[in-house]
A and B are shown apart, each in its own frame.
Chain A
Amino acid sequence: MPLPACWCGRLRAESRRPRIKNAGIQEKGLRISAGEKKLKNEHKIRAKFRALSDGAATGLAVLATILVVAPLVAIFAYLVYKGANSLSWAFFTEVPRPVGVVGGGMANAILGSSILLAVGSLIGVPVGISGGIFLAEFGRGTKLAHAVRFTADVLNGVPSIVMGIAIYSLIVVPQGHFSAFSGGVALGIMMIPTVCRTTEEMLLMVPNAVREAALALGVPNWRSVLAITVKTASPGIITGCMLAFARVAGETAPLIFTAFGNVGWNTRLDEPISALPLQIYVYALSPYDDWHRLAWAGALVLIVLIVLAVSLVRYVTSRGVLKGAS
């Protein structure tokens, strides 16, 4: 009776080929034909190739990750090094000095940025959240909701410079002058799609039982949406707003032709206003070392604000979207 394959060591041959090969031959008393030998050799090469390609793929993936993390670390390290060296108290308290005069700061740009962002949020946040409420509460599964969702995603990818020139021709040209208001509108419009989509996603996570409980108590629908559903999802919605905020805080392109920039203080909405990214752009391309220094300091301040916002968001979301309010 012939032995089963596993008993005569055929299967173990996979792992310990050289010794078992001889044993197998002796046991069976067979000669290996040339073809079989070739086949075995091929198997061997193949196994080696497979192991090698596996290792190579792993190595390449690790290498790719290192190559991606490297520029990030480089950018951050250089930014912190340059920025920290150039930061001073004057940066936060003084307005830019005339060309050639050393010193000065970006206080007006910081103020300008916050005014622009406030106007932008006033426009972008309510409209975005309302759009999200429509998508999640009223339009579930309807064609209109699909179309809105799709358009929001597409609008998210429209280049900011296009947004800038559209607002320029929409507001700046009829008004006849650059203004803080137009810059704020541009930023606000850019916030809408992001806020809308995150609001929708967060509202969808609220369990239906919560809605039904509210309705069963006879609470009118609008109230149940605002006071129950939206409130339950509010940590997530705030996260979305912060993300949108962080994104537009660094936008330069839509501000060049709307807010335009200003070398002095301005708090009026109908006059050109300075903004941090705008100022960085202008200073980076200037030929003066002192302005380069200020640009680095501005970049550091900007990035610290944005990273703070993003990590805050990350912290809140990692604790569970709905935990905070329920």
Chain B
Amino acid sequence: MQEIRLKKLEFQTDPAFENGVSNAEAVSPDAAQVRNYLLSRGNSAISDGGFRWLMVLCALSIFGIVVLIATELMVRSKLAWGQFGLDFFYKAFIDTYSHKPMYWDPVNGHFSALPFLYGTLVSSFLALLLAVPLAIGVAVFLTEMCPNVLRAPLAFLTELLAAIPSVIYGLWAVFVLVPLLREHLNPWLIKGFGWTGFFGDDNPTGLGFLAAGIILAIMILPIISSLTREVMTAVPNSQREAVLALGATRWEMIRMGVLRNARIGIVGAVILGLGRALGETMAVTMVIGNSPEISRSLLANGSSMASVIANEFAEASSDLHLSALMELGLALFIVTIIVNAFARLLVWAVTRGEPASTH
């Protein structure tokens, strides 16, 4: 559109230049200088085209990066894929002597992603369970209830929460959260809810799924709450006024006027938070306990896809081991891409009318 306008502009002004140069001196020396200068620069079509293509190239490099990551991971994980195929994701090797499942045994070359899938899912959903109600509460408070004086500082604080590097969350979790869990929360949970089987007392370290879930919840809170806030402010005020005019209390107004209209976007925000939780590495690695086991107890040590890569990649003992880790990375890549794409579409659907999507 703009391009066309530009061409027209040049087309119209060019003849004017031809006429203008001859009588330019008579009109004004300044104008003549400008015109001479413009004429001396010659045709800008080449440089314009070149610039344009350079920009397009840089934009295309984003596709290039995604493709490059995908192909690299695929090439490097070929060995594990050839060895295990799809079994990698749902089968475990059964030890012939102890008849116990061996999930991850670098020494004997048995690899299965099962415990890591389990660990990633458990810690992420635990995080969502804790973070979603809080995040929506914060968003509701900040958009609908908060006095104006508090709004900006509180929004800034929650944004700050997003700016803290994950290794610092991990550091805090190792030295503050884990001892807290070990000494206070875990004994209480074991005593009160041990009968459910979710809180076994065989891990006295305080590390484990619960610690990972809590720290993940703190980390994904700002993402979910800021996106929820964005979606809720996108709800038109007329909706709020209409509900209030019917005699609704404030909570009824929020429930019927705001949350109901924004629900798709909120789901998108939650899924985006899930995407972040699935791939979070450092903080989880530091507190999840790092043992490739599947255990019903939330207080047991576990391991997630990202944490096992961070832990074992540098010391991978064999090509097969390295390849299996690469395959885990590929799986993580594909899963997070799908989750993120889905969430983006949902959020866009609310904030921009319709998904300005890929097709």
Partner of B282, one of A139, A252, A260: A252
Which residues of the partner chain A approach B309 to less than 8 Å between Cβ atoms? Answer: 161, 165
Contact yes or no, B9 A216, CB < 8 A? yes
Within 8 A of A (CB), among B41-97: 41, 44, 47-48, 50-52, 54-63, 65-66, 68-69, 72-73, 75-76
Contact yes or no, A71 B218, CB < 8 A? yes
Partner of A169, one of B60, B326, B358: B326
Contact yes or no, A157 B60, CB < 8 A? no
The residue on A at minimum CB distance from B223 is A157
Within 8 A of B (CB), among A83-138: 126-128, 130-131, 133-135, 137-138
Binds A, one of B106-114, B232-240, B336-344: B336-344
Which residues of the partner chain B approach A212 to less than 8 Å between Cβ atoms? Answer: 5
Contact yes or no, A302 B168, CB < 8 A? yes
Which residues of the partner chain B approach A159 to less than 8 Å between Cβ atoms? Answer: 278-281, 306, 332-333, 336
Contact yes or no, A215 B9, CB < 8 A? yes
Contact with B along A147-160 (1 / 0, CB 8 A): 11111111111111
Binds A, one of B189-197, B249-257, B295-303: B249-257
Partner of B325, one of A53, A75, A165: A165
Minimum C-beta distance from A29 to chain B (A): 30
Contact yes or no, B154 A65, CB < 8 A? yes
Verify if A228 is at the interface (C-beta below 8 Å from B).
Answer: no
Contact yes or no, B326 A131, CB < 8 A? no
Binds B, one of A17-25, A37-45, A231-239, A306-314: A306-314
Verify if B11 is at the interface (C-beta below 8 Å from A).
Answer: no
Minimum C-beta distance from B289 to chain A (A): 12
Contact yes or no, A277 B165, CB < 8 A? yes
Within 8 A of B (CB), among A245-287: 246-247, 249-253, 256-257, 260, 277, 280-281, 284-285
Contact yes or no, B61 A131, CB < 8 A? yes
Once A150-B357, A189-B65 are accepted as A-B contacts, the answer to whether A134 and B168 lie under 8 Å apart by CB is: no
Contact yes or no, B163 A138, CB < 8 A? no
Question: What is the interface residue range for chain A against chain B?
Answer: 35 or more
The residue on B at minimum CB distance from A163 is B69
Minimum C-beta distance from A230 to chain B (A): 11
Which residues of the partner chain B approach A204 to less than 8 Å between Cβ atoms? Answer: none
Among A135, A249, A251, which residue has the most Cβ atoms of chain B within 10 A? A251
Interface of B is mostly: helix
Verify if A303 is at the interface (C-beta below 8 Å from B).
Answer: yes
CA distance A150 to B177 in the complex (A): 37
Verify if A205 is at the interface (C-beta below 8 Å from B).
Answer: no
Which residues of the partner chain B approach A51 to less than 8 Å between Cβ atoms? Answer: 249
Which residues of the partner chain B approach A61 to less than 8 Å between Cβ atoms? Answer: 137-138, 140-141, 145
Minimum C-beta distance from A68 to chain B (A): 5
The residue on B at minimum CB distance from A224 is B6
Within 8 A of A (CB), among B1-30: 1-2, 5-6, 9-10, 13
Contact yes or no, B167 A196, CB < 8 A? no
Once A130-B55, A138-B52 are accepted as A-B contacts, the answer to whether A161 and B134 lie under 8 Å apart by CB is: no
Among A53, A63, A156, A221, which residue has the most Cβ atoms of chain B within 10 A? A221
Partner of A146, one of B48, B275, B314, B356: B356
Which residues of the partner chain B approach A7 to less than 8 Å between Cβ atoms? Answer: none
CA distance A1 to B69 in the complex (A): 85
A-B CB contact pairs (8 Å), 24 listed: A51-B249, A54-B250, A54-B251, A54-B252, A61-B141, A63-B137, A65-B154, A155-B66, A158-B340, A160-B281, A162-B73, A166-B68, A189-B65, A192-B61, A196-B59, A211-B2, A220-B44, A221-B6, A247-B163, A252-B166, A252-B281, A284-B170, A299-B168, A310-B163
Could you list which residues of chain B lie within 8 angstroms of chain A, going by C-beta atoms? Answer: 1-2, 5-6, 9-10, 13, 38, 41, 44, 47-48, 50-52, 54-63, 65-66, 68-69, 72-73, 75-76, 133-138, 140-142, 145, 154, 156-161, 163-172, 174-176, 218, 221, 225, 249-252, 254-255, 272, 275-276, 278-282, 286, 306, 309-310, 313-314, 325-326, 329, 332-333, 336-337, 339-341, 344, 356-358
A68-B225, A158-B69, A222-B48 known, 13 other contacts, Cβ within 8 Å: A53-B251, A64-B135, A69-B154, A82-B175, A137-B2, A138-B56, A140-B1, A145-B59, A163-B69, A221-B48, A250-B166, A281-B282, A299-B171
